[in-house]
Structure 1
Amino acid sequence: MVWNSFSEFLAMGGYGLYVWGSVAATALVMALEPVLLARRQRTLIAQIRRQLAADGRSTGQAPRSRA
């Protein structure tokens, strides 16, 4: 396809809103994914540390039985 101007390029032959909306949505998801993964990792590590502390493993004590 040949565009005579930048505005024609952005319009994408009448499909510009769909094309650029899709590009924006994909870019947003790709930018958020590492942030959300890092946040989830920090949450899981904190949860594991709390569980280990509750079991007494981080203080060197014997774990409590789960009878």
Structure 2
Amino acid sequence: MVMQWSSWSQFFSMGGYGLYVWGSYGVTFFLLGAEVIMLLKRRKLPGKHTPPTVAKARDLELETQ
């Protein structure tokens, strides 16, 4: 694989498409990070987001133990 850029500024400008390319990477990583944070917060509050059928099954399971 041969790089087509002779300097870092050419690499980051990506032939005029740098804003689109690096902006896309930025938005993607931001959204992935936000998803991880939301999942970690949801894990701390399991009863709040548990669907009623799952909660009922969990309660029945606890009663039989």
TM category (shorter chain) comes to 0.5 to 0.7
Distance across 2 between alignment mates of 1:38 and 1:24: 21
Q: Distance in 2 between matches of 1:19 and 1:26?
A: 11
What residue number does 2:18 align with? 16
2:12–2:18 Cα contact (<8 Å) kept: yes
Residues 6 and 27 of structure 1, relative CA distance in 2, 3 Å threshold: same
Matched with 2:9 is: 7
Q: What TM-score do the two structures reach when normalised by structure 2? A: 0.62
Higher Cα Rg, which structure: 1
Distance change >3 Å, CA 21–CA 41, structure 1 → 2: same
- Where in structure 2 are there 5+ consecutive unaligned residues? 51-58, 60-65
Q: CA deviation at 1:20?
A: 0.2
Following TM superposition, by how much is the alpha carbon of 1:41 offset from its aligned partner in structure 2, in angstroms?
A: 2.7
RMSD: 2.2
